[in-house]
Each structure stands twice: as structure tokens, then as C-alpha cells.
Amino acid sequence: MNILEFKEVSKIYNSDNVGIHGLSFLVKEGEFVALSGPSGSGKTTALNIAAGLDDFSEGEVLLFEKSLNEMSSEAVLELRRSQVGFIFQSYNLFPVLTVLENVEYPLALKGVVQSERVRKARAMLREVGLEEVENRMPGEISGGQQQRVAVARAMVTGPKIIFADEPTANLDARTAEKLLELFRNLNKTNGTAFVFSSHDPRVLNLADRIIPLLDGKIMGDGGQVH
Ligand SMILES: Nc1ncnc2c1ncn2[C@@H]1O[C@H](COP(=O)(O)OP(=O)(O)O)[C@@H](O)[C@H]1O
Ligand SMILES: [Mg+2]
């Protein structure tokens, strides 16, 4: 099954800022793919569009073989809540909720009852090695731990794909490596597809496939931009 397909997708912010330009790529079930490229190359724009968090100006985006162009915003929201996980560079945890409550949150949006939410959130926290800190607030744990809470929150609904925007950008090398190991384990064990962006060669090397972006386009072999 195709999980994500971009067909000649462009996002024009304004006359001076082109987010992405005629971008086409395909991600299949269970793939572990990286978007590479320097700052401003369109990684965040592409990921936000892929996850249905942002709109686009031209082209077509298919998520789970359904065209986002033809779906209502409510239908996109529903699809995102049930099938997609997103990990932001800045974690975006809710500062006033505990670690456990943060991980429960996507389940609450789906209407899962509390006892079931707690059970699933605890199981996810165990998987990312954070069961000890479930009652702490995000401000009381380290950056690496916060990032793992964000991973648990993205995983807890059992999505088919997880998007992660520069997930290792704020982590030291060892913590970054451990986070990628965690991604890989979840990918292998649950078959979850991952699309993550980075400009760190060590992180990129762990991907099965790299989609190299430059100026909002895919950089071809030999560094040609087309
Ligand atoms: N909200 C925005 N308004 C205007 N221009 C933007 C906005 N977000 C991104 N851009 C522009 O789109 C291009 C791609 O940015 P971005 O997707 O953030 O790249 P990356 O994540 O690779 O750093 C850049 O030229 C950037 O200035
Ligand atoms: Mg970015």
C-alpha cells in the first residue's frame, strides 16, 4: 500500500518565499525515509503538508491512497487523528499536563475512555523507557526525555505513519542515536512508516532511503536540481 504520495506539489507562501516547488515522491507501507537538506530547503513545509497540518498551492497529495485535495478539512482531521503521528522539533508538549496526560491526549481526542487511555499510555511510556516519570511535568524532565514523551504521544494511537521534523536537532549525539534506535524498533516491530527530516549525516545514514531537498525541489543525482 502507498502511504504517502506527493505529485508535483508546490507551496507558495508569497512572491519571495516558495516553500516547495513541484515536489514528487512516494512512501510505501513500513518504509523508513529521511528528508535531507539545508535550512530553508522545504523540509518542514513538506512534512506539514504531508500530515495535513498545512495546505498547498498546487499539485496533489495522497495519504493512504486518498487524495487530500478531495477531502473536507474535517475528514483530513479525522484521518490524521486516527492514522498519523507527528513529532515536532520543539516537542510541543502541553506544559500543564503530566507526562502521562500528554501521552493520553490523542486517545482522549478519539473518545477513548480513561481507564483504557491510562493503560495504553502507560504501555507506550514503558516502551520508550519513561514509566518512572509519568507523573512529572514536561518542565521537570530532560530534553531527551521530553522528546521520548513526544514519541510516545505520536505512537499511542497506533498510527501507520509518523512524521518527525528534525527530531534530533536539540539532542546530543548519544541521545539522538538512541532516539533513532527507538524509531527503528517501532518501525520493525509495528511496521510503522517513518518520514523524518534532518541535516545531520549520522542520522540520515540510518534511513533506508534519503529524499534530498534543495530550494524546495528534489536534488537529482550528481547534485543537479530539477
Ligand atoms: N510561514 C512562512 N511564511 C513565509 N515563508 C515561509 C514560511 N515557512 C517557510 N517559509 C519559507 O519556505 C522555505 C522553506 O522553509 P522550510 O520548509 O521551513 O524549510 P526547512 O524546514 O528545510 O528549513 C524557506 O524559504 C522559508 O523562508
Ligand atoms: Mg524546518
Question: Ligand 1, closest atom to CA 216?
Answer: 14
CB of 26 within 8 A of CB of 5? yes
Question: Ligand 1, closest atom to CA 18?
Answer: 12
Query: 49: closest CA among 38, 41, 40, 60?
Result: 60
Is residue 226 included in any domain, yes or no? no
**Ligand 2 centre distance from Cα of residue 135 (Å):** 31
pLDDT digits (tens, 9 = 90+) for 182-205: 899 999 999 999 999 998 898 999
Q: Is the CB of 44 inside a 6 Å radius of any atom of ligand 1?
A: yes
Q: How far is CA 194 from CA 46, 86, 103, 197, 221, in A?
A: 14, 10, 19, 10, 23
Is residue 186 included in any domain, yes or no? yes
pTM of this prediction? Answer: 0.91
Q: Is the CB of 21 inside a 6 Å radius of any atom of ligand 1?
A: no
Q: Which domain CATH number covers 147?
A: 3.40.50.300
Is residue 99 included in any domain, yes or no? yes
Is residue 167 included in any domain, yes or no? yes
**Ligand 1 centre distance from Cα of residue 204 (Å):** 21
CA distance 18 to 166: 20
Is residue 7 included in any domain, yes or no? yes
Q: Is the CB of 198 inside a 6 Å radius of any atom of ligand 1?
A: no
Look at the chain and report how many structural domains it folds into.
Answer: 1
Question: Ligand 1, closest atom to CA 213?
Answer: 22
Question: pLDDT of the chain along its 226 residues, tens only?
Answer: 999 999 999 999 988 888 999 999 999 999 999 999 999 999 999 999 999 999 999 999 999 999 999 999 999 999 998 899 999 888 899 999 999 999 999 999 999 999 999 999 999 999 889 999 999 999 999 999 999 999 999 999 999 999 999 999 888 888 888 889 989 999 999 999 999 999 889 899 999 999 999 999 998 743 444 4
Q: Is the CB of 19 inside a 6 Å radius of any atom of ligand 1?
A: yes
Which residues keep their CB under 5 angstroms from ion ligand 2?
A: 43-44
Q: What pLDDT does 223 receive?
A: 42
Is residue 118 included in any domain, yes or no? yes
Is residue 145 included in any domain, yes or no? yes
Q: What pLDDT does 89 receive?
A: 85
**Ligand 1 centre distance from Cα of residue 19 (Å):** 5
Is residue 88 included in any domain, yes or no? yes
Q: Which domain holds residue 126?
A: 2-221
